[in-house]
Structures are given as C-alpha cells and as structure tokens.
C-alpha cells in the first residue's frame, strides 16, 4: 500500500481511537476497543481522504489545479508559481474533524526570479497523537509526517508554463521512522478569451517516481479547467483526479471536484465547492499586502465534526 495512503489510514485510525476513548471515559464501562477500532477503521479508510491543502483550494472543493496563482502552487501545481507575480509567504493551520491530538500545518514561500522563472519552498507537517488505555494507564503514541517541497517553474510562452517539485518525505512514529523522495510535474495553460476573461487548463502529475524506504507508491494525475470572468471577480473551476485503491479497488478510480469564487466587494471573496459529494465553503479578506482566509468542509459519509482551517498570506 502506498506511503501517503498508509499514513492517512494511520491518522484516521488514531482519530477514531481518540474518539472511542472519550466515549469510554464518559460511559465509565469497559469497551472492547480493539474490535471497534478494526471495524471503524476498515470502513473509513476504504475511501482515502484528500487533504486539499490551503484554505482557498478547500473552499472551492479542491478544484484548484488550473487556478493556482499563490503560494499553494508548490503543493498543487508547481507551474502556478509563474502566476504569483510577487514574493509571498503563507501559513495554514488545520485541525482535521476537530479531533484532539491531530493537527496539520503548511508553510510556503514563493519567489519570482524574473518574468520567466520562479521558485518556491514549502513545508507540510502532519501530527497525530494517541493515548491508549484507561484512567492512569495511558500509553502515548505519536506520529509525525513531514514533506519538504522545493519547486521551480518556467514560462515558455505568454500562455504556457511548466514546473517541477522535488519532495522529501519524512516519517517518525513511536515504532518506526524513515524518509524518501518523490517528484511532481505540472503544466498550466491560460488563454485570454477577451478583455477581462480567460480560460485555463491545468495538469499535474504528483508523486512521480516516489518512494519511501525503498517502497514505491502510486502516482496520481490531476486535470482541471477554470474560467475567470469579469477581471477575476467570478471564477468557476472543475477538477478530476485519479486515485488508486478507492473502496478496496486495486485499480485507479476517478474523483471529481468543483467550485466557484465570487468577489462580493473589494477585498472580500466568498467560495463554495463540492468535493466528491462533500460540501465545502470559505471566505477570503484582502487588506493591502495581507490575505486572510477561512474554510471548512464536511465529510457527508462520516458522523464527525466539520474540518475548519485558517490561513494568512503576506505579499512583499
């Protein structure tokens, strides 16, 4: 099983173990945790959870591979670094499903070098903690997964850009640790239809030739289209991506994403998205060189809290 999918499975399992422990303490009775966890984890991890890193991407349902024009480019599509246009420093924080002991953060820096070259540096950190047992007999287990991303992009023509990211993976748990490398490649095509309107196409191949401790894991392909209208006051986008091992299938499946963004007044944008049947939404506030964003989503198939996230972006 692939490294990324395996880590997500471990994180989800930790989340449900933590929830089960809370139930046990409140009800003050013995529960056969092992049986419950196996049953729950088996059903939940049948559908791998995509993180949709970044507030703006999540608010738009994960339809972002053709939009990318900010410091999230290193994660989504490195070719998007050419659309950033200025130095940017960003930070995002996420507490998945409001589960105690789980946290995800993403830091990014984008640097345009010239009109045709740009680089980006990103750091993705995922942490999960688990307390096993009851009362005073707890045993603490921790998981920490990090991804350091170095990206570069080049503009070939006024409408076509390409980029590549080198990812260095690191995993540290209570029982094991290791590291590995992977590569992402991306293309971005933006075609002006008429003044103030454009059509964009994005393509990203993630985890190309990726490995972790000499174990390879599957690459995924993401394709998206976007229409930017009225000088970017209205943005409508849709993505599809491949995913291996969904619902116990051994081959690849397609997943869909759609979203829109509307500027309701200067500096204020609202977002709405549909992520494989799950609702997402968000807002963005621009103030001079600062951008503040908030988003949330709800996994319709699971009876869990919404996932809330916030991010800040500084242009300089």
User: How confident is the model over 183-211, as pLDDT tens digits?
Assistant: 999 999 999 988 889 999 999 999 887 77
- 304 Cβ contact partners less than 8 Å away, ≥ 6 residues apart: 97, 98, 99
| Distance separating alpha carbons of residues 78 and 151, to the nearest angstrom | 6
Using the predicted structure, report yes or no on whether residue 275 has a pLDDT greater than 70: yes
Using the predicted structure, report yes or no on whether residue 36 has a pLDDT greater than 60: no
Q: Is the pTM of this model over 0.85?
A: no
| Distance separating alpha carbons of residues 34 and 27, to the nearest angstrom | 17
Average of pLDDT values for 293-315?
79
| Distance separating alpha carbons of residues 59 and 273, to the nearest angstrom | 6
Beta strand 268-275 with 252-265 is antiparallel
Beta strand 220-229 with 197-212 is antiparallel
Dmax of the chain from CA atoms? 68
């Amino acid at each position: 099983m692939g490294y990324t999918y395996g880590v997500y499975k471990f994180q989800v399992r930790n989340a449900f173990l933590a929830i089960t422990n809370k139930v046990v303490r409140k009800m003050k009775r013995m529960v056969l945790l092992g049986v419950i966890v196996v049953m729950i984890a088996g059903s939940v991890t049948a559908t791998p959870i995509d993180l949709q890193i970044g507030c703006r991407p999540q608010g738009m349902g994960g339809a972002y591979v053709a939009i990318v024009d900010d410091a999230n480019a290193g994660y989504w599509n490195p070719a998007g670094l050419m659309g950033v246009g200025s130095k940017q420093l960003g930070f995002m924080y996420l507490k998945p499903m409001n589960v105690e002991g789980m946290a995800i953060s993403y830091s990014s820096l984008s640097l345009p070098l010239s009109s045709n070259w740009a680089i980006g540096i990103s750091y993705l950190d995922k942490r999960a903690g688990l307390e096993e047992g009851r009362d005073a007999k707890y045993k603490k287990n921790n998981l920490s997964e990090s991804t350091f991303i170095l990206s570069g992009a080049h503009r070939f023509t006024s409408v076509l850009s390409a980029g590549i990211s080198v990812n260095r993976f690191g995993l540290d748990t209570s029982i094991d640790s290791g590291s590995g490398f992977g590569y992402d490649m991306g293309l971005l095509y933006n075609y002006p239809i008429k003044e103030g309107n454009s059509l964009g196409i994005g393509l990203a191949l993630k985890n190309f030739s990726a490995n972790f401790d000499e174990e390879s894991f599957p690459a995924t392909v993401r394709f998206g289209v976007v229409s930017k209208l009225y000088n970017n006051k209205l943005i409508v986008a849709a993505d599809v991506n491949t995913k291996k091992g969904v619902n116990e299938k051994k081959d690849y499946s397609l997943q869909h994403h759609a979203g829109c963004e509307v500027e309701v007044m200067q500096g204020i944008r609202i977002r709405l998205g549909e992520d494989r049947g799950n609702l997402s939404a968000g807002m963005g506030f621009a103030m001079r060189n600062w951008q503040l964003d908030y988003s949330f989503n709800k996994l319709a198939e699971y009876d869990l809290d919404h996932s809330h996230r916030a991010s800040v972006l500084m242009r300089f």
